[in-house]
Amino acid sequence: MKTLRRTALLTGGLMLGALGVVVVPGWFDDAAAHEPELSRYGYWRDIRPLLEQHCASCHSGIGPAPVNLMRYLDALPWANSIARQVLERKMPPWLPDDGTGLFAHARTLDERETDMLVDWAIGLAPEGPAPADEPEIPGAATDLPMSRLTLSEPVRIGEMESEASVCRPLVRGEGVGAAAAGFALIPGEAVSILRRAVLLAGSECATGTPIFTWVVGQGPRLRPEGVFDRLPEDADLFLHLSYRKGFDTEGLEFEDEPQVAVFPPLSDRTRPVETLAVEPGTTAVGPATLLSVLPPEGLDPGPEGFAVETVGSDGAVTPLLRIRRLDSDWAEKFAFREPVRLAAGAAIRVSHPGAIVDLVRPPASGPDEDR
């Protein structure tokens, strides 16, 4: 039954119109049915918790995405689109294919969650019993201490510009040292059109080393315990910003001043992140611990996809990351949930030029904990 319903939906048989009540013949999996089968799931009881967990970071009305899914009447017109987006795996946006590494901060739905959303949407998206008070959406607030990097001058996006790509030098605020435990982006006025940001260190933006990436809806990113990112004091810092307007922002003018929050490292963070640009083919890196991978900028990965693997000293190959649909809006530093340990002699193998890998090396002296 599920399969048939899904097929009907994907082939466009389903026409949940703006109000979700347009009934098209041939819509149902059950040929005997003359009325749409009301989903057993209710919005507030079953669906809202899923949307809150997986979609609220972007779709809460104040966030960057154009659709508010946190209230029934706002979400209802989008029911059909929700089903399509989750079945086609476009939402939540997440690039890595299944079956490779496990990532921290992954944005994925499991099969049960997908089925629930689809069942609800094609079952006329019922509201079900509503709570007395509308539940609040938990904010992404953090109480970590932080200092700030600010733009040397604000970015202006004219009303005729529907896309913009801008790189600006950053000014170090009070308390920003040469090291950081992690970063967050604090959006400015143009939060609705800012698509991606990359913090770079170097002498110029184009050749700088990417230290931190931000994509829409992303909260703070902290390195694992004991590890810090370098913000070398002899290097300049830049923020590369990508903007794109949507149907609701076309024709508007923006002045934007996003900031980067820098979380200062505690003294027990003793191992610096090394950021390497790795060439296609095999590069010996062990002994080391891999933390994250950033796919190449602007890459067309081809049918095989962009792939990263480790090759052990015994030749054993372990896939770490594969991306077939590389949408650059969502290209971030993909951090492994468990940092990947590479023994001496082990290598990393990437498929395309321009991939960036973050790793830490064991201390030069003392016991080699990576073996």
User: Site residues (CB under 6 A) for ligand HEC?
Assistant: 54-55, 57-59, 64-67, 78, 81-82, 85-86, 91-93, 107, 109, 216-217
Name the DSSP class of 57: T
Q: How far is the CB of 327 from ligand HEC (least distance, A)?
A: 8
Q: How far is the CB of 316 from ligand HEC (least distance, A)?
A: 35
Q: Which is nearer to ligand HEC, 306 or 330 (CB)?
A: 330
Q: Which is nearer to ligand HEC, 13 or 93 (CB)?
A: 93
d(CA 54, CA 279): 35
d(CA 80, CA 93): 18
The residue type of 82 is I
Q: Which is nearer to ligand HEC, 325 or 371 (CB)?
A: 325
Q: Does residue 291 contact residue 285 with C-beta atoms inside 8 Å?
A: no
- Residue 327, class by beta-carbon neighbours within 10 Å (0-12 exposed, 13-18 middle, 19+ buried)? exposed
Q: Which is nearer to ligand HEC, 9 or 237 (CB)?
A: 9
Q: Which residues pair with 262 in a beta bridge?
A: 147, 183
Q: Which residues pair with 166 in a beta bridge?
A: 241
d(CA 70, CA 153): 35
Q: Which is nearer to ligand HEC, 161 or 370 (CB)?
A: 161
Q: What is the dihedral of CA 301, 302, 306, 310, to 10 degrees?
A: -150
Q: How far is the CB of 330 from ligand HEC (least distance, A)?
A: 8
Transcribe 69-136 into DSSP letters. -SSHHHHGGGHHHHHHHHHTT-SS---SPTTS--BTT-----HHHHHHHHHHHHTT----SPPSSPPP
Determine the straight-line distance between the first and last CA of the chain, rounded to whole angstroms.
51
Q: How far is the CB of 87 from ligand HEC (least distance, A)?
A: 11
Q: How far is the CB of 332 from ligand HEC (least distance, A)?
A: 10
Q: Which is nearer to ligand HEC, 82 or 288 (CB)?
A: 82
Q: State whether residue 5 is helix, strand or coil.
A: helix
d(CA 103, CA 291): 10
d(CA 110, CA 96): 14
Q: How far is the CB of 186 from ligand HEC (least distance, A)?
A: 17
Q: How far is the CB of 217 from ligand HEC (least distance, A)?
A: 3
Q: Which is nearer to ligand HEC, 86 or 260 (CB)?
A: 86
Q: Which is nearer to ligand HEC, 88 or 233 (CB)?
A: 88
d(CA 123, CA 16): 10
| Cβ neighbours of residue 226 closer than 8 Å, sequence gap 6 or more | 268, 269, 270, 271
Q: How far is the CB of 212 from ligand HEC (least distance, A)?
A: 17
What the block records as the tokens of 281 is 């083919």
Q: How far is the CB of 202 from ligand HEC (least distance, A)?
A: 28
Q: Does residue 197 contact residue 240 with C-beta atoms inside 8 Å?
A: yes
Q: Which is nearer to ligand HEC, 16 or 231 (CB)?
A: 16
